[in-house]
Amino acid sequence: MEAVDDTTSQTRIGAELWQVLARHRWRTVAAVVLLLVAKLATVAVPLLLKRIIDAFSGSTLPARLPLYLLIGYALLRFSSTLFNEWRDLLFVRVTLTAVSAYAQKTFAHLHALGPRFHAQRKLGSLLPDIDRGTSGIAFLLGVGLFTIVPTMVEIGLVLAIMLNRYEVGFAAIILVTFLVYAGFTLVFTARRVVYQRRVNKLDSRAKGQLADSLINYDTVKYFTNEAFEAHRFSIIMDDWRAAGAANQRALFTLHVGQSALIALGVAAIMVLAGQAVMARRMSVGDLVLINAYALQVCLPLNALGFVYREARDAWVNAERLFALLRERPEIRDPPDAPALRVGAGDIVFEHVHFHYDPGRPVLVDVNLHIAAGTTVAVVGRSGSGKSTLARLLLRYYDPGSGRILIDGQDIRQVAAASVRAAIGVVPQDTALFNDTIGSNIAYGRLGSTHGEVVAACRAAQLHELIAALPLKYETPVGERGVNISGGEKQRIAIARAILKDPPILIFDEATSALDSDSEHAITQELDRLSRNRTTLIIAHRLSTVVNAHLIVVMDRGRIVEQGSHAELLRRRGMYARLWLLQQRMDKETPH
């Protein structure tokens, strides 16, 4: 089964690379022509060298210096290099365009994949796969045309010349050497691919572990687990070292075997040529010519073996990239899906069922109406399905059954990007790019002016804080925003949402990670931001949602209560119990 999968994968990769060459057919054809001309010049060099040697090694020296032979010899050598370099200059655009296109395609594809894929992948191991994959594509494009093809052409021309000018034994030795060498290389390279795949897998795993540990640097420090992290990394590196050593042993066997076969072939040719010279059937020039051709065939043959090994490695690397590109996005728009026509922002969840894993329902028959311009808060215990409502509304996932409507339109029937464009999100953990404060805020609406960014910051009560910084809006926030506080991050998220100016807002646990003073200040900003907008608040702290028009209580994926704050307290149900519990905890918590 694995062999079938391997063959299928190779066929797919070959078809992809062929399409790349087809898109640049004229450059490819021109590069091949230049390559053939260069090879013809290379093959002609020993012929001209034989004539020069014969002219000077005869019983009498020539009457005049054969300048045309000597200059022609130099020009042939130069032309071989010239045409090869010209070929590379012409074809480099094809290679660079292909690598750039696949890198961009992979980048866009990763953003198209859903959160389930990204939750299961380690970024540190994903990046090496992409890097090695694009490098593999570049290598394969150059190898197929500029090493394998010219080497075969060169061997064919040499065999033709040898058959035409000399005893059949010379051509027979070259042909047998080539066939044995090719068979040996194919068999032993196939065995080594297993080791190379393991090395690549362990390399990606090591980089993933390294990135994950460094991203969680603070957690490692909190629990003084530096030694544990180093030990865990050393185990992976020990496996990688063992796999690399096994790979090198296989490579040693391959290299030594190839070199031995070439040495035997060259020795057989030279012995046969030496006997012919001693018997006066060939001249010294013929001996030099045969030696040159033997080396001219055997050295490219050795290079061909190296290239084949590298090509198999490149193929293995490209497999990972193409496997990544074959990952299907969970959310796919219908063909020619229209954009969402945004009106007042009326939202309806209609008999929505959803699960992440079969057998573990997250939402069960949820019916919820968020009227246009109102604020609805969803509360409940952890794992009750609150945040899943926001993810479904953003179309990170589609419901298993039921539907979600915005202004009467089923969001599965419209373009997902247009749904997200209509929604602003202030998350619990604000993600920031390693850029300036101004750039991070401007990300909320690309193309916004500095004045619009400042206005959004003023509305979010953030401008004065930024203005007090030495670099103001050009202040770097650091990796993941480590240079600024949690409250400042949340204000940046609010400023982003203000700048986007969407008709629908989602606050997903937007104040749960803040202290009481920051929570109170941020809650006031959120209240101001949500006025006259349709707002969904996912909340853990009930004190932040008492002013909501409607409070929905969820438990085990179901809506168990809904009403205003006062109504729910009067019912003495789950909301009232949660409220009393939080009030008691607040009183017991020392300030």
180-237 pLDDT, tens digit each? 887 887 788 777 777 777 887 788 778 777 777 776 665 676 566 778 888 888 888 8
Asked if 579 and 545 sit in the same domain, the reply is yes
The model's pLDDT over 362-371, given as tens digits with 9 standing for 90+, comes to 888 989 999 9
- Is residue 292 predicted with pLDDT exceeding 50? yes
Asked if 318 and 365 sit in the same domain, the reply is no
Verdict on whether the full-model pTM lies above 0.75: no
| Of the residues 292, 325, 358, the one at which a domain ends | 325
C-alpha span between 462 and 522 (Å, rounded): 11
The verdict on residue 335 lying in a domain is no
Asked if 76 and 225 sit in the same domain, the reply is yes
Q: Quickly count: other Cβ atoms within 10 Å of residue 428's Cβ.
A: 17
Question: pLDDT category, 515, cuts 50, 70, 90?
Answer: low
Please compute the mean of the pLDDT values over residues 561-575 and round it to a whole number: 88
Return the structure tokens found at 451.
């004045």
Q: Give the chain's radius of gyration (CA, Å).
A: 35
pLDDT of residue 369: 92
Asked if 314 and 430 sit in the same domain, the reply is no
pLDDT of residue 109: 80
470 touches 483 (CB < 8 A): no
Of the candidates 413, 393, 415, the residue with the CA atom closest to the CA atom of residue 404? 393
- Is residue 86 predicted with pLDDT exceeding 50? yes
The verdict on residue 341 lying in a domain is no
Question: pLDDT category, 447, cuts 50, 70, 90?
Answer: confident
C-alpha span between 376 and 380 (Å, rounded): 13
The verdict on residue 356 lying in a domain is yes
Asked if 105 and 186 sit in the same domain, the reply is yes
- Is residue 2 predicted with pLDDT exceeding 60? no
Asked if 315 and 185 sit in the same domain, the reply is yes
The verdict on residue 1 lying in a domain is no
pLDDT of residue 1: 35
pLDDT of residue 136: 79
CA dist 79 to 90, 293, 295, 330, 455, Å? 16, 19, 20, 55, 66
The verdict on residue 204 lying in a domain is yes
Q: Domain total for the chain?
A: 2
Q: Identify which of 42-46, 63-67, 247-251 has the greatest average pLDDT.
A: 247-251
For helices 486-500 and 516-530, what crossing angle results, to 10°? 0
239 touches 247 (CB < 8 A): no
The model's pLDDT over 345-383, given as tens digits with 9 standing for 90+, comes to 899 999 999 888 777 888 889 899 999 888 898 988 888
C-alpha span between 48 and 170 (Å, rounded): 20
The model's pLDDT over 493-504, given as tens digits with 9 standing for 90+, comes to 888 888 888 888
Q: Which CATH number is 429's domain given?
A: 3.40.50.300
487 touches 449 (CB < 8 A): no
pLDDT of residue 349: 92
Asked if 282 and 394 sit in the same domain, the reply is no
CA atoms 282, 284, 288, 289: torsion sign: negative
Question: pLDDT category, 144, cuts 50, 70, 90?
Answer: low
Please compute the mean of the pLDDT values over residues 406-419 and round it to a whole number: 89
Asked if 319 and 354 sit in the same domain, the reply is no
Residue type at position 66: P
Q: What is the mean pLDDT of the chain?
A: 79
C-alpha span between 118 and 123 (Å, rounded): 8
Asked if 530 and 571 sit in the same domain, the reply is yes
Residue scoring higher pLDDT (558 or 153): 558
The verdict on residue 331 lying in a domain is no
| Of the residues 265, 292, 325, the one at which a domain ends | 325
The verdict on residue 489 lying in a domain is yes
Q: Which CATH number is 257's domain given?
A: 1.20.1560.10
Asked if 102 and 250 sit in the same domain, the reply is yes
The verdict on residue 342 lying in a domain is no
What residues make up the domain containing 370? 347-588
pLDDT of residue 353: 92
pLDDT of residue 248: 83
Asked if 444 and 485 sit in the same domain, the reply is yes
Asked if 366 and 315 sit in the same domain, the reply is no
